[in-house]
Structure formats: structure tokens, C-alpha cells
Amino acid sequence: MKATAWMGTDSVKVIDVPDPKIMNARDAIVRISTTAICGSDLHLYHGYIPAMRKGDILGHEFMGEVVEVGPEVRNLKLGDRVVVPFPIACGHCSSCQRGLYSVCENSNPNAGIAEKIMGHSPAGIFGYSHLLGGYAGGQAEYARVPFADIGPVKVPDEVTDDQAVMLADVFPTGYMGAEMCDIKPGQVIAVWGAGPVGLFAAASARLLGAERVIVIDRFGYRLRLVEEHVGAETINYEEADVLDTLNEMTAGRGPDACIDAVGLESHHGNPAMYAYDRAKQATRIETERPFALRQAILACRSGGVVSVVGAYGGFIDKFPMGAFMNRSLIMRTGQCHVQRYTRPLLERIQRGEIDPSFIVSHRMPLRDAPKGYKIFQKKQDDCTKVLLKV
């Protein structure tokens, strides 16, 4: 089959690999119809996630048709159209049973390495480094889906591929970012980043009853999406001072909750500040550039929530612990527990409360995946979300 493989920093190729086969009794094989490039795939592309190997198949957002099931998979049958959550979760460990699917205790066969870096191992993730399991990803013609009796969700005919594939990661991730804010009536929510996750975090904050939602980014075309499709306010951080503007908008209180939907490769309006962390990251003195997170902490009202759904992989410097501690802030975070959200969010799509395909800017065939990575990386052609059609 054809598959998108990581070949080194800033290099992906569509290569020929063997077709996947059932390896565990609870596996299914899915023939992929639509798969997406995620912002976190760019972290892999840029070489910021450790333990990648040349030839690793990328992709953790995908959907398609079930073409083979293992003997223990009884909930799916051949021909079912399913969307697959990005975290691989067994459903039976105590983390899964508490709904914490992205920290499944059984799905990372390389838990030993993950423990050395993170203390304990999170779940395995499709196509997301050997640290997180060494699973082949879904930017391919077929994928093996472990624990297919737990993760995949059948998609009704009236829901399109472009809508359903958002349930694999970005919509639930944005939604969880908003849910962790514990939004109460009258509250103001600020979101750093108007990429797919930030857009869904803002849209979800509205769905969950926020009074005002403010999104911070520097790309005009993305901020226009926020205004047109989410009904939120915007701040372009290259044109305005973010902290001043947020204080002014909230009469000095600060947002009740701040969502970091940026993660480890954030950008800073001040070239000197950007250069400082960029240089440390390049020399591996720190692994992340946490501008958005630092700013979210400083902006948040005292006693408020900082909700982190942007991806981090290692260590950050200059964490404003003084502000965080002295102002009674709460941080909530996690890779999304997608399995918890797929069905309720699918129902919201079916009820017409949201059409998540509004974020899609590009659709192209799988063979053009390298081009898709390039334009997404360079934010060319007003790129927000690239779907690959198989």
C-alpha cells in the first residue's frame, strides 16, 4: 500500500509498504477514505518529538471502512464506516475505566522508554513516535486499529467524511480544552492559537455557554475564520499588546480561563523574545518555546483556569511559577481522551449545532501529502487544515 512516511526533519515521502495485518485479536483493519495532517504532525515534521525512525508511517487523524476484524471484535462488521480516535486505549485498565483514555496503561509497548522521560507512560498514539508506541499511522491506504472494540465509532451516512474525520482529534481536543475551563455563565474565555484546535476550543467554549470568547493569533485569515464561523472576538498579537488588550476587554480582571492551543512551537511578537527561546530550542537547551503558555498564565484572572491542549514533549524554561502560585491559578491539561467525546460530539454534528468541516482549507490526494505538509508548515495559501483523500 501507499503510506506517508517520516524520512527525517522536514522530509516526508509517500512510499510503498506492506499492507497491515491483524496482530492482536482485538484489531481491525480499516481502508482509509479520509485522513488529515494535524498541527502536532508538524512537531514531528520539524523533529521536535524524540524517538522517530526513518520510515515511520505518520498520521493519527483518519477514518474509513472496516475491511477485516480480529476474532475478539464483535461490535464492528466488514463495511462499517468508522472514525478512529488518535489515542490507542484498551478500555479495561483503571485509567480507561475512569475515562482517561489518553493515559491508557496498556497501549504503549514502549512504556519503558516513556517512563524514563515522563515518569509514567501515557497511551500509545498512531504514528506519533516510538516513545508513544511505535504504531504505524493512518496517512496511508490502510491502517491496523488496535482495540477496535473500544475506539472506532460508526459514522451515520448523513455525516460527511470531512465532518467525521474531525472527531479523530481536533474537535474533541478543542472541546476538552473548553470543558476543562469549567465554564460558568458570564465567563470570558481566551484562546491562544487559531489553528484547528484553537478554532474548536473557541467554538466549544461558545457551545458550553461562555459569555465572550477571545482568540489570539497573528494570521489574518485564521482570525477571519474565528469571526465568521465561531462568533468570537480576536486579537492579532503582532498588532496589539495581548495583556493590555485582554485587561482592557475584561475591565482589568483578565479572562476567567485561558486555553493554550499552541503548544511547543509557539511564536512571539517580539523578535528578541522569540530568538531567545528559539536559540535554546535549536541547541536543545530547552525542547519547547512556551510563549503562549507563559502569556496565558500572566493573562489569566486570579483563581482562574489555564487549560493546556497544545502539545508539549519535553521541558520548558522560564515558567512563571511565581505568578501561577501567588495568584491561585489552576492548570488542567492532557492529550485528549477522545473516546469520551466522539459520540456526544457526533450527536452535536447530527443535530446541526456545529459543522466542523468549516476549518478545512485544502483537500488533496494522499500522494500529495509532502505538498500538504509543506503548505501547512509555511501557512501558504491560507492553509488551516489539509485533508488527504485516499
Decide: is 97 part of the binding site for another protein (CB under 8 A).
yes
Taking the least distance from each CB to another protein, the nearer of 142 and 200 is 142
Site for another protein in 119-148 (CB under 8 A): 124, 127, 130, 133-137, 144, 146-147
Decide: is 105 part of the binding site for another protein (CB under 8 A).
yes
Taking the least distance from each CB to another protein, the nearer of 84 and 375 is 84
The only residue of 8, 47, 50, 55 in contact with another protein, by rule CB under 8 A: 55
Taking the least distance from each CB to another protein, the nearer of 61 and 217 is 61
Cα–Cα dist 353/159, whole Å: 13
Identify the three-state secondary structure at position 306. Answer: strand
Decide: is 77 part of the binding site for another protein (CB under 8 A).
no
Could you tell me which stretch among 22-30, 33-41, 200-208, 299-307 binds another protein (CB under 8 A)?
22-30
Decide: is 21 part of the binding site for another protein (CB under 8 A).
yes
Contacts by 42-46 with C-beta closer than 8 Å and gap 24+?
A: 42/265, 42/373, 42/376, 42/377, 43/263, 43/264, 43/265, 43/311, 43/313, 44/6, 44/128, 44/129, 45/6, 45/9, 45/10, 45/12, 45/373, 45/377, 46/9, 46/10, 46/265, 46/377
Contacts by 111-114 with C-beta closer than 8 Å and gap 24+?
A: 113/51
Residue type, 159: V
Taking the least distance from each CB to another protein, the nearer of 29 and 293 is 29
Could you tell me which stretch among 100-108, 165-173, 264-272, 357-365 binds another protein (CB under 8 A)?
100-108
**Least distance in angstroms from the C-beta of 47 to another protein:** 16
C-alpha distance from residue 143 to each of 40, 126, 235, 279, 387 (Å): 19, 9, 40, 38, 16
Residues forming the site for another protein (CB under 8 A): 3, 5, 17-21, 23-26, 51, 53-57, 72, 90, 92-94, 97, 105-107, 109-113, 124, 127, 130, 133-137, 144, 146-147
